[in-house]
Amino acid sequence: MKAHLGMTGSGFSRSAITRSTLCLSIATALALPVAIPAITPSTAVEQTAEKRDSAFYNGTTSERAAASCWEAKQANPEAKSGAYWLYTPAMSQPTQFYCDQETDGGGWVKIGEGRDGWTENYEGQGDASQLYSDAAPASSGLTLEQGKALSSLPAAKTPIQLSGTTISQLLNGTRPDQLPDGYRFRRALNTSGTKWQEVTVDRRQTSEWTWALRSNAVWSNAIVTNPDEFSSYNENGRRDWPDGTWEDHMLGGQNYGFRTMLFEEMASQDYRMGFRYGANAPISQDGSEPAMTDAQNSYIYGKDGKGETSFGYTQMFLRPKLTQNDLNLGAIPDSGTPASARRALPSSRSADWRWRTSTRTFTGETNEMNTYVEAITEVDHGNGTSSVFIGGDFEYLESSSGEKVHQSNIAAFDPETGELRRDFKLTVNGQVKAVEALPNNRLAIGGAFTEVNGEEHKSFVVVDATTGEVAPEWAQVKVEDRIRTEIMTVKTIHRQGDYVYIGGTFTHVYESEKAGAAYSRNIARFKLGEPSNGVPGIVSIDRNWRQVFNGTVNGISASADNSHVYVAGYFTWLNGGLAYRVADITQHLQKGSPWAYQHSEIPAGANVSDLRNETKIWGFQFDVQDAGSGVWVGGTEHLISRYDKASMTPTYTAITRNGGDFQDLHLHGDNIYGACHCGDFLYQDSRNKQAPVGGSSVIHSVKLVAAFDKDSGKMLPEFSPSIKGDHGFGIWESFVDSKGTLWVGGDIHRSLGVHGTQDTIGFARFEARDVTPPATPQNLQVELKDDKDVLTWDAVQDTGSVRYQILRDDRVIASTSGTKFEIDHTDNARYFVRAVDTSDNYSASTPVQVAPVRPAPTPTETATETPTADPTATADPTASADPTASADPSASASATPSAEATTEAPKEEDPKPEEPKPADPKPEEPKPADPKPEDPKEETPKDDQKDEAAKDQIVLPYASDWKYMVSTQAPNRKYGWKYNFHFSLEDIAQEAWQTGKTPIGVGASNLNTSVKVPLVRTRHNIYAYTTVHLTREQASRDLVLTTYADDAIAVGVNGEEVGRTNFDTRGKLWNSSLASSSIDTAEAQKTPVTFTVPSSKLKAGENLIAIEVHAGISRRNVRPNVSFDLQATSKAPVAEQPAEEKEADKEAEAPVANEAEQPVVDNANNAAADRGERRAVNNGVGTRVPMQSRRN
């Protein structure tokens, strides 16, 4: 038995402590969002939950999925622990989870287990399939006795945790702080895993699931139960605490041995997280058990071998008590269900890095005001292309291949690939603080520089985004600071409509020498001129909108119509009136601002009675963002806020601890991205830095950037990246490009990427997650066959693989990868089908198809049959050829279509008319004395009378047209021709393909398409594809592909390899992969191979067939012979062999009396060749045998 199946330990009960066994395994699912709406169609349909007894939903099958482990236990009080099917409307389909059905009444769903290396990331961690695949089925009841050791430490010593999304779906709207039994932990008490502790505790003020267990939070009602020998460490509610609650790191408490449970990150454990014990915990170290330092075998592990810093193997459970009545499932309307609508968000894992900045700054300064990347934007070049620009303080750029490019402070990248745009050459001699896209292919740049391209441009310049040259219409624009004690800087640039705003530290702005300077301190607005004949218009200062701030402006965001301009910074007054750190400007030379910002902390000695003249530096804000009905602000102290525009009062606030201030805000769609130097927790709805716990509704982990809903303010924990820096300065810029990729820049050194941790220095990219649903399946049909409802539908085209979910009445009951599904028949069952992809998006469903009503049995009477001269009473020998004959369950009740003949026996008083006269046989009867050698009436139908569907059908003949390419490498391996044929027609259709008739090849004469290639090439690989259209009937058969290997060939169908032969590898096919041997083309064509593609890999409609041919040699100036041709045949179903033929075969197979008279074949292969036989390919390896010459 695997270790997963057997951990046992002390049970517990809140009313009385009991001993119980617990079968250990783990179960999870990456369940999908938003499933069946609770609506009623125009025609009333009973809910499934009402039609079936409550015991039906016991979790033993997908169809019988329970609402919770608790419901499964109530349906079967004798249920044992194991894997159960669960389903709530928040899931897209039933999924298996591990249920503990034996501890404290059962009903517990396991959400995580492991030893050291837990995460606080909302995504959870680990391979979900490992968490439940080894669990005992719900009916097995496997358990182990208390004290019995496992054979080895479970694989989950590196923890596995369900995602927050999955746990929320299990809760189905139940708040974690409203779970009646709280959180349950089961922790090892010795290193051999034979003694266990049970802990339950309630977590207050937790509106939704979070894995942030390390944070300070409000807890209550703790119960700690240990085996008898450790009973002194038991705990029963901590009722001595005020109000029965406490604020702590879980069960810190008295720091007392096994009574303490702390979830912490330990420096001595290489900053890994886990559940540790209190001081002087009596962990056995007598030599008979693994040592705590034994990472491979011990259930309690610490590098230093100390009990107080070691982590114990822990399981975590919840017990939502959901039943069918809680699900509120309404019957699905006739039109079906809508498609999923997952929110557009970036992936939580960073994309593979292509470029990064240097770890040295250009200025040589290293502080939070001099970080690698502080500004990001994208400029549309107007020719169908665009570039993403980064600006900051960096010395050079470095590629993933190790190349260094000496481009400092600003650079451009292709948003599609992330590749550096080497043609953009711009030199800036200082730090770049701001970049903004302007119309007409212009890029505005602000910062602390003095020269651009060797010419004087102080702190602000606008350039051509393609060439990097200074834009002529902006050439005379400049800023100036006439206060000598200040360092002139442009820190923010914002364009809204025809206006461009700049902010920072300066006193005057110029548009031209002739117009002269305009006094507009720390903020200014320019008006864009109207273009003429494609030439941008002249830029002018908006002299009717000038303001004076007494401090630096950090952020600007204007409303869509520019009637409100929101400003954040270090200032205390605007035009002489109070505007403490934020302002809402609606007019020229506006005195002060009505916006009274609510701070998270007021330091001692602050001049709150006269903020206009405050000299103490506190409460400053870094950024502001207009977001439609609200405006967002981010800054000190650790506070992000949303204000309602109408009242200018806060509607949402959140505090981060430990660290840090919010430094950047970015709006994209309905999402606000808030970046900060915060690396621990975000306390949602809190606004008090010193006491964030008390006002919080939930605590989430945050790692330098988070996403929020722009209207409600709610943090969106599904976006949960993990980013770290070396200096603690955090992220200073975030930007979403036209591809949906989020770019973040700042003090970044590492991030968790799609392929693990990577050194993303200066900036990181997070590509948009796939939220596009697949197409809706078509042509759903439901038939009654053999007491089964048989559903069939047409496959859908999608860029990736899809599965299909089957819905019945009010819920999803199953999923399948094919286009056919069978289930026990239910009269009038209402069926729907929808497609779901690997990114958890599901399509709108088909309209309803109703299962037929099972026909009532046809009544028959028992009677003695009498012969009749009626020719219809004779069985028709051709009847079996009718493929629909078996569809009628009453067909066997009568030999004639007459209803009377099947329900009424012949009358006994007048049998003579039905009796044949032996003395006068009818002419059509053959005479026994003279039987005809061949009676045509008795013959089976000829081949041309049989159904054409029963024959093999060539669906792709030899000498067909194919798209092809002869190349040294695969066409666009990453995005087009992917490894092992894992691509779709859409992936490859955009490449520069040639069209030719097969055989297609190089270096041979007997080809229909002979390709000329240069001798200097080292490889001459052939990449080719075509499509074949299959009817639904053809798609239900196997497809046989017949080809040959010249020199080696691999074949893929619909994005999956179906076979290869004569390659020197079974792994990925690289462009450098070689054939095992070289073969002459003519010989190869005589010896084909076949690949059989099962019907499960086919679909009705277009099917993609792709091939890859490689040579056996790879040398310059040597042209090998390589070619291919292929035929596809839809195989007829194998018919049952008649009994008389079987007997004949047996006679033919009988031993020959004189074996010496039989011919002897010296060469088996030659004999096979003489017979024209072929040998099929098994497991992707072909054996060549001859076949007839192919036709041209």
Q: What's the pLDDT at 1174?
A: 37
Mean pLDDT, rounded, for 1038-1058 = 93
Judge whether residue 1188 has pLDDT over 50.
no
Judge whether residue 1138 has pLDDT over 50.
yes
Q: What's the pLDDT at 533?
A: 76
Q: Which contiguous run of DSSP H or E holds residue 168?
A: helix 164-171
Quick one: pLDDT band at residue 73, thresholds 50, 70, 90? very high
By three-state DSSP, how is residue 72 classified? helix
Residues 6+ apart with CB under 8 A from 433: 374, 375, 391, 446, 447, 448, 489, 490, 491, 492, 504
Q: What's the pLDDT at 998?
A: 95
Picking from 167, 107, 156, the residue whose alpha carbon sits closest to that of residue 131 is: 156
Q: Where are the domains of the chain?
A: 3-318, 778-850, 950-1130
Judge whether residue 844 has pLDDT over 80.
yes
Q: What's the pLDDT at 85?
A: 95
Residues 6+ apart with CB under 8 A from 1040: 1090, 1091, 1092, 1093, 1128, 1129, 1131
Question: Domain spanning 778-850 has what CATH number?
Answer: 2.60.40.10
Judge whether residue 946 has pLDDT over 60.
no
Quick one: pLDDT band at residue 1176, thresholds 50, 70, 90? very low
Judge whether residue 866 has pLDDT over 80.
no
Residues 6+ apart with CB under 8 A from 1135: 950
Q: What's the pLDDT at 659?
A: 78
Is the link from the previous residue into 658 a cis peptide, with omega within 30 of 0?
yes
Q: What's the pLDDT at 1092?
A: 94
Distances in Å between the alpha carbon of 163 and those of 206, 211, 589, 766?
A: 17, 9, 53, 19
Mean pLDDT, rounded, for 591-613 = 94
Quick one: pLDDT band at residue 317, thresholds 50, 70, 90? very high
Quick one: pLDDT band at residue 1136, thresholds 50, 70, 90? low
Q: What's the pLDDT at 980?
A: 79
Q: What's the pLDDT at 1115?
A: 63
Quick one: pLDDT band at residue 133, thresholds 50, 70, 90? low
Tokens of 562: 């520019």
CA distance 127 to 483: 61
Q: What's the pLDDT at 534?
A: 75
Q: What's the pLDDT at 1022?
A: 94
Q: What's the pLDDT at 913?
A: 40
Among 361-365, 432-436, 863-867, 1008-1012, where is mean pLDDT lowest?
863-867
Judge whether residue 152 has pLDDT over 60.
no
Q: Is the dihedral of CA 167, 168, 169, 174 positive or negative?
A: positive
Q: What's the pLDDT at 1116?
A: 61
Mean pLDDT, rounded, for 794-799 = 86
Q: What's the pLDDT at 552?
A: 98
Distances in Å between the alpha carbon of 1082 and those of 307, 610, 619, 1003, 1184?
A: 75, 97, 83, 11, 13
Contact 102, 49 (CB under 8 A): no
By three-state DSSP, how is residue 73 classified? helix
Judge whether residue 171 has pLDDT over 60.
yes
Q: What is the pLDDT of residues 638-656, one digit of tens each?
A: 999 999 999 999 999 999 9
Q: What's the pLDDT at 984?
A: 83
Q: What's the pLDDT at 241?
A: 55
Contact 15, 159 (CB under 8 A): no
Q: What's the pLDDT at 296?
A: 86
Q: What is the pLDDT of residues 207-264, one digit of tens each?
A: 999 999 999 999 998 999 999 999 999 888 665 555 667 888 877 766 789 999 999 9
- Percent of the chain exceeding pLDDT 90 equals 62
Distances in Å between the alpha carbon of 955 and those of 169, 533, 1027, 1038?
A: 46, 58, 10, 12
Contact 312, 276 (CB under 8 A): yes
Q: What's the pLDDT at 911?
A: 41
Contact 246, 254 (CB under 8 A): no
Q: 922 or 845, which is more confident?
A: 845
Q: 531 or 672, which is more confident?
A: 672
Q: What's the pLDDT at 1083?
A: 87
Q: What's the pLDDT at 537?
A: 84
Question: What's the chain's average pLDDT?
Answer: 82
Mean pLDDT, rounded, for 989-1007 = 87
Mean pLDDT, rounded, for 754-769 = 96
By three-state DSSP, how is residue 637 classified? coil
Q: What's the pLDDT at 658?
A: 85
CA distance 713 to 710: 6
Residues 6+ apart with CB under 8 A from 863: 905
Q: What is the pLDDT of residues 1076-1103, one digit of tens each?
A: 888 888 888 888 899 999 998 999 889 9
Judge whether residue 18 has pLDDT over 50.
no
Judge whether residue 671 has pLDDT over 80.
yes
Q: What's the pLDDT at 989?
A: 77
Q: What is the pLDDT of residues 544-597, one digit of tens each?
A: 999 999 999 999 999 999 999 999 999 999 999 999 999 999 999 999 999 999
Among 736-750, 840-854, 1005-1019, 1087-1101, where is mean pLDDT lowest?
1005-1019
Q: What's the pLDDT at 991?
A: 77
The structure's pTM equals: 0.70
Judge whether residue 1137 has pLDDT over 70.
no
Judge whether residue 1 has pLDDT over 60.
no
Picking from 824, 820, 822, 815, the residue whose alpha carbon sits closest to that of residue 793 is: 820
| Strand partners of residue 1140 | none
Q: What is the pLDDT of residues 403-454, one digit of tens each?
A: 999 999 999 999 999 999 999 999 999 999 999 999 999 999 999 999 999 9
Quick one: pLDDT band at residue 1016, thresholds 50, 70, 90? low
Q: What's the pLDDT at 1061?
A: 92
Q: What's the pLDDT at 1186?
A: 37
Query: What phi and psi, each to the nearest 5 degrees, are found at residue 155?
Result: -65, -20
Q: 708 or 11, which is more confident?
A: 708
Q: 480 or 1016, which is more confident?
A: 480
CATH architecture label of 950-1130: Sandwich (2.60)
Q: What is the pLDDT of residues 328-343, one digit of tens each?
A: 999 999 999 999 999 9
Q: What's the pLDDT at 858?
A: 64
Contact 623, 568 (CB under 8 A): yes
Q: What's the pLDDT at 921?
A: 41
Mean pLDDT, rounded, for 904-933 = 41
Same fold across 778-850 and 950-1130: no
Quick one: pLDDT band at residue 23, thresholds 50, 70, 90? very low
